Amino acid sequence: MGLGFFFDQTRCTNCLACVVACKDWHDIPAGPASWMKVVTIEEGLYPQLRVSFLVQCCFHCAAPGCVAVCPTQAIQKRTEDGIVVVSPELCLGKDQCHQCREACPYSAPQFGAEENSKMQKCDLCLERLRKGLKPICVAACPMRALDAGPMEELISKHKGTREAVGLAFSHELKPSIVFRSRMKKP
Amino acid sequence: MEKLESTACASHCGGTCLMKVHVRDGIIVRIETDDGEEPQLRCCLRGRAYRQRVYAPDRIKYPLKRVGPRGKGEFKRVSWDEALDLTARELKRVKETYGASAILVKTGGGDVTFVHGTGRITERLLSLFGGYTGTWGYHSWEAATFASVATYGTIAVANTRDDLLNSRWILMWGWNPSDTIQSTNTTWYLAQAKERGAKIISVDPRFTDTSATFADEWIPIRPSTDTAMLIAMAYVMIKENIQDQAFLNRYTTGFEKYRDYLLGITDGVPKNPAWAEEKTGVPASQISSLAREYATTKPAALIAGIAPGRTAFGEQYHRAALALAAMTGNVGVHGGECGGRCLGDQYPFNTYPFQLGPLMPAGANPVDDKAPVQKISLKGYRVGDRFVPRSSARVHISRLADAILRGKAGGYHADYKLFYVVNSNPVDQLPYARKWVEALPKLEFMVVQEQFMTSTARFSDIILPVATFLEKNDMIASGATPFYGYLKRVIEPYYEAKSQLDIAMDLAERLGIRDFNEKTDEEWVKEIVKGSAIPDYEEFRRKGVSRIRLSKPYVAFQKEIEDPEAHPFPTPSGKIEIFSKEIEEMNDPLLPPIPQYIEPWEGPRDPLKEKYPLQLITTHFKRRAHSQFETLPWLRELQPQALLISTVDARSRKISDYDLVRVVNARGEVIIPCKVTERIMPGVVDLPEGAWFSLDEKGVDRGGCANVLTTDRHSPCGAQATNTALVQVEKV
């Protein structure tokens, strides 16, 4: 097992600090590409509601579907830490191919607004990890609801579940994310 | 060369945080936040987007002078000399021709800092110049401050936020800190309180993100009727004899009069839950059980948000919340709250008694001093080091456009000819936009200090570009847990922007005022630090923060409760005033001396509802701090400005999600997309405040500005009623 995320769904208030922090750190302009998003899941009818929030970024799957389908091997899963990275110079661009986007149930692959833009996505802030820092989203979270690190550590530290409201665990892909979930325990 | 600078962020968003700014060759390249010891002061999305704010293509780079008709937004670049010479000349001319009272000044929060923020600098400058007409009324919390001062003698009524960890039961009333921050780390403390087993309940017309995350129970309520529910809860407590009578006997005055009102002895109307259900839409059984839970779970914190106070009779809501907290004995104890003005993050609005050196004195304004004090002035009404000006020469903020339009003929103290705006965007942020559009062309001269082309700037004759807090030196004291923050100049001012202090110094010279100011902004910070509890100036400057370590959370009124003989409450009676003699002497039937429910105009039972059947609220928006940050692309893409409408109300109007809708009342019309949702009470719509208005050729606003629809009537104590308005919504 490599590196992955922890997300505390009971704490996330949809404040969106992680989303903007990611855009600033990676210098991504406003537009369709966003390496980190927060989605809202609304259940029930007025006034009996449950509303939950879920981070949406690359979960650096153990068996990533995007890597398997990429026709040019532009996407690789690093053997040393499991981070899924993309080499834009190898990517065919969105006008020619978007198989990775279709293969990913978590909407991780992102494309900019420009013509034939190349795939881009969360790299777990490799540049920061090398300096011993947590990813920018983790460092940004005002609720301390995010963490990142080796999956074994995250699992034992947070004693989390592999599913959350709005996310079904894919046994095929095995997304590297652990949750403190708002789902009722069975 | 790259450097990393730590500095405080204070953006009038409700928090104050720590920013770490990466600067390469004088340019900000990235922004990080606090990564030191806990409690870290982590920035919200607005702070994280600040780089885009500093370098926004639409930031005002140079002094501008109007060339087209007022309000059309046609300007040309001029030199600072030309802009300031003209401003000084107009100030002198207007004072000589019409008198100093013809100079109308609106200041606001801006960044709510000690040196450049709020109105201090401009007020001092123009007081020394001979005076000006100022305003009265706080945009956000006039009702809350008035009620807190009337009941407890002070605005400092909240515990520090970490005290939530001691609460077993938290009642969030119209309170949404996920969006409004309400002190950095407030939601983090809420999460921890919940994890420790506190039960959390939300009373709110909306199912907010805060409610979604924390509330065990959501009780939707009709806007402008909160007082009725609080009063009925008090009734239940009395009827079931579960109030803390020992506390009431020892610490309060006038409870009997309130009890007589509740039981209907004074007016024949018992204020029971059925009475409240009819008004509020909240089932009577729910009101009763909430009252029981509150009275019997200790300690319990009623956090009375300030949005329900921005209503037709908003002060009654706050007075009723304060009285209810006293009835449960949750005052002055850990884990309690006195139900007062919920903590404002920044000095002078917070509770913790910070030590500080002297701030710039605003000086005496001759125009204020010549006019009598207003009838509704509370003697103990101080904010920080200052008594709140209550001269009757002042214009209420809600009435500014009306005052410009009508002047003496409309009963105001003067005819207003020159309008000077600093740290504020009144044209977008004060009610009744159409009146502003009518009024502003009447002015002879208007000048604004701004960073962006807000509607206020668009109507000005001169726009003076202002530096952001990353381009000057300043200071704050604030926090959910108390700390001092240093806002440091980490880059040179953008293009020709200047600090507020520098602009005022240049004007002072032109106005011939010699003793205006001798210090730089950094020298002011040093003076303030000298009188503070900060051990080392240089370390403070380097770190951007100096924390005050308390062994326990700070609790408001702890000493008054523990030793009432030695520490009376700072009220006229020395007790918590459920009945206020001071208010009684104001002799206004709409401002009663005990908390009372008064049927709101434009409320759910106003006959006007036939024509305009929906209640409008104008809530805070996550991606803005009021009207600040409005144009930043990173933030705009996260939340489209839209009208929130319930599924029920949308269906009956054949409206679907993201349809364009017309929101209309007698004051104006907005055309905007809508968001159809289960998360708002039927009968209520929400147009978030802070969007800048943008009128099309027919005078219809396409910008989604809530104040096109809000009223310029204010509550009897002077609260803006921006959450009391009736509208109709139809598909375009």
Q: What is the DSSP letter of B714?
A: B
pLDDT in tens, B92-126: 999 999 999 999 999 998 898 999 998 999 999 99
Question: Quick one: tokens of B682?
Answer: 């039927």
- Which residues of chain A does B33 touch, with a Cβ-Cβ cutoff of 8 Å? 21, 139-140
Please check whether the domain covering B64-132+365-547 is classified as CATH 3.40.50.740. Answer: yes
Provide the percentage of residues in chain B whose pLDDT is more than 70: 99
Written as one string, the DSSP assignment of B300-327 is EEEEE-SGGGSSTTHHHHHHHHHHHHHH
Q: Does A17 touch chain B (CB under 8 A)?
A: yes
CB B425 within 8 A of CB B456: yes
d(CA B399, CA B153): 27
Report the amino acid identity of residue B68: G
* Cβ <8 Å between A16 and B634: no
Question: Could you tell me the residue range of the domain that residue A31 belongs to?
Answer: 3-180
Q: Does B626 touch chain A (CB under 8 A)?
A: no
User: Is the pLDDT score of B412 beyond 80?
Assistant: yes
d(CA B311, CA B618): 11
Closest partner residue to A15 (CB to CB) among B33, B45, B207 is B45
Q: What is the DSSP letter of B420?
A: E
Query: Residue B109's pLDDT is what?
Result: 85
Question: Quick one: tokens of B569?
Answer: 């409450």
pLDDT in tens, B521-552: 999 999 999 999 999 999 999 999 999 999 99
CB B214 within 8 A of CB B172: yes
For residue B55, count CB atoms less than 10 angstroms from its CB and return exposed for 0-12, middle for 13-18, buried for 19 or more: exposed
Peptide bond into B570 cis (omega under 30): no
**A interface test, pick of B201, B209, B218, B636 with most A CB neighbours within 10 Å:** B209
Within-domain flag for A11 = yes
Within-domain flag for A42 = yes
List of E strands, B17-144: 17-24, 27-33, 64-66, 75-77, 103-107, 135-136
d(CA B174, CA B140): 13
- Which residues of chain B does A23 touch, with a Cβ-Cβ cutoff of 8 Å? 634
Question: Quick one: tokens of B67?
Answer: 């060339």
Nearest-Cα residue of chain B relative to residue A181 = B213
ipTM above 0.95 for this complex: yes
Question: Quick one: tokens of B616?
Answer: 């409008």
* Cβ <8 Å between B213 and A12: yes
- 3-class SS of residue B525: helix
Q: What are the start and end residues of each CATH 2.40.40.20 domain in chain B? A: 607-731
Q: Does A128 touch chain B (CB under 8 A)?
A: no
pLDDT in tens, B612-645: 999 999 999 999 999 999 999 999 999 999 999 9
Helices and strands (H and E) in chain A: how many: 6, 7
Whole-number Cα distances in Å, A33 to A118, A119, B252, B634: 11, 9, 59, 11
Within-domain flag for A166 = yes
Gap from B1 CA to chain A (nearest CA, Å)? 18
Question: Quick one: tokens of B724?
Answer: 């009391």
Closest partner residue to B634 (CB to CB) among A30, A143, A144 is A30
Closest partner residue to B42 (CB to CB) among A27, A52, A140 is A140
**A interface test, pick of B45, B200, B201 with most A CB neighbours within 10 Å:** B45
Peptide bond into B299 cis (omega under 30): yes
Query: Residue B190's pLDDT is what?
Result: 97
d(CA B319, CA B339): 9
Question: Quick one: tokens of A76?
Answer: 């690789």
pLDDT in tens, B233-278: 999 999 999 999 999 999 999 999 999 999 999 999 999 999 999 9
Question: Quick one: tokens of A101?
Answer: 């986007």
* Average pLDDT over every residue of B129-133: 98
Gap from A131 CA to chain B (nearest CA, Å)? 14
pLDDT in tens, B648-699: 999 999 999 999 999 999 999 999 999 999 999 999 999 999 999 999 999 9
The tens place of each residue's pLDDT in chain A, 186 residues long, gives 699 999 999 999 999 999 999 999 999 999 999 999 999 999 999 999 999 999 999 999 999 999 999 999 999 999 999 999 999 999 999 999 999 999 999 999 999 999 999 999 999 999 999 999 999 999 999 999 999 999 999 999 998 999 999 999 999 999 999 999 998 654
* Cβ <8 Å between B636 and A17: no
**B interface test, pick of A8, A20, A43 with most B CB neighbours within 10 Å:** A20
pLDDT in tens, B477-510: 998 889 999 999 999 999 999 999 999 999 999 9
Q: What are the start and end residues of each CATH 3.40.228.10 domain in chain B? A: 143-348+559-584
Nearest-Cα residue of chain B relative to residue A19 = B45
Gap from B206 CA to chain A (nearest CA, Å)? 10
Nearest-Cα residue of chain A relative to residue B192 = A11
* Cβ <8 Å between B646 and A29: no
CB B71 within 8 A of CB B80: no
Choices 3.90.1150.10, 2.40.40.20, 2.60.40.1180, 3.40.1780.10: CATH for B607-731? 2.40.40.20
Gap from B168 CA to chain A (nearest CA, Å)? 18
| Angle of CA points B120, B122, B124, to nearest 5° | 65
Question: Quick one: tokens of B164?
Answer: 């939530």
Whole-number Cα distances in Å, B218 to A53, B171, B261: 18, 10, 29
**A interface test, pick of B638, B651, B675, B684 with most A CB neighbours within 10 Å:** B638
Query: Residue B35's pLDDT is what?
Result: 96
CA dihedral in degrees (B54, B56, B58, B60; nearest 10)? Answer: 20
Gap from A50 CA to chain B (nearest CA, Å)? 7
Greatest mean pLDDT among A22-31, B148-157, B349-358 lies in A22-31
Peptide bond into B593 cis (omega under 30): no
Q: How confident is the model at residue B315 (pLDDT cuts 50, 70, 90)?
A: very high
Residues found in chain A: 186
User: Is the pLDDT score of B587 beyond 70?
Assistant: yes
Nearest-Cα residue of chain B relative to residue A50 = B212
Query: Residue A109's pLDDT is what?
Result: 98
List of E strands, B25-101: 27-33, 64-66, 75-77
Closest partner residue to B647 (CB to CB) among A16, A19, A46 is A46
In chain A, which ranges are continuous DSSP H helix?
17-25, 65-69, 99-103, 126-130, 136-140, 151-158
Closest partner residue to B678 (CB to CB) among A21, A49, A133 is A49
Collect all residues with Cβ–Cβ distance below 8 Å to B262 and sequence separation of at least 6.
B231, B234, B235, B238, B270, B271
Number of domains into which chain A is organized? 1
Q: Positive or negative, the Cα torsion across B355, B357, B358, B359?
A: negative
Closest partner residue to B33 (CB to CB) among A16, A47, A139 is A139
Q: Does A116 touch chain B (CB under 8 A)?
A: no
- Which residues of chain A does B2 touch, with a Cβ-Cβ cutoff of 8 Å? none
d(CA B41, CA B33): 7
Q: Does A31 touch chain B (CB under 8 A)?
A: yes
Q: Positive or negative, the Cα torsion across B323, B324, B329, B332?
A: negative
* Cβ <8 Å between A16 and B187: no
Question: Quick one: tokens of B283?
Answer: 């089932």
Rama region for A16: left / alpha / beta (φ>0; ψ in -120 to 50; rest): left
* Cβ <8 Å between B207 and A49: yes
Nearest-Cα residue of chain A relative to residue B622 = A15
Q: Does B187 touch chain A (CB under 8 A)?
A: yes
Whichever domain contains A150, its CATH number is 3.30.70.20
Within-domain flag for A147 = yes
Query: Residue B669's pLDDT is what?
Result: 98
d(CA B604, CA B602): 7
- Which residues of chain A does B161 touch, with a Cβ-Cβ cutoff of 8 Å? none
Whole-number Cα distances in Å, B146 to A69, B186, B315, B317, B341: 65, 24, 7, 11, 9
Within-domain flag for A186 = no
Rama region for B65: left / alpha / beta (φ>0; ψ in -120 to 50; rest): beta
Query: Residue A185's pLDDT is what?
Result: 52
CB B143 within 8 A of CB B314: yes
Choices 1.10.357.10, 3.30.1130.10, 3.40.228.10, 1.10.540.10: CATH for B143-348+559-584? 3.40.228.10
HSE at residue B724, side-chain half, CA atoms within 13 A, is 27
Q: Does A158 touch chain B (CB under 8 A)?
A: no
Within-domain flag for A170 = yes
Element containing residue B474 per DSSP (H, E): strand B474-478
Q: How many contacts does A have with B, using Cβ atoms within 8 A?
A: 113
Label each residue of B503-557 as H, E or C.
HHHHHHHHHCCCCCCCCCHHHHHHHHHHCCCCCCHHHHHHHCEEECCCCCCCCCC
Q: Does A186 touch chain B (CB under 8 A)?
A: no
* Average pLDDT over every residue of B203-232: 98
Gap from A75 CA to chain B (nearest CA, Å)? 27
* Cβ <8 Å between B213 and A10: yes
- B258 phi, psi to nearest 5 deg: -65, -45
Query: What is the layout of strands, in order, in the sheet containing B199-203?
Result: B217-219, B199-203, B169-173, B300-304
* Cβ <8 Å between B212 and A139: no
CB B21 within 8 A of CB B470: yes
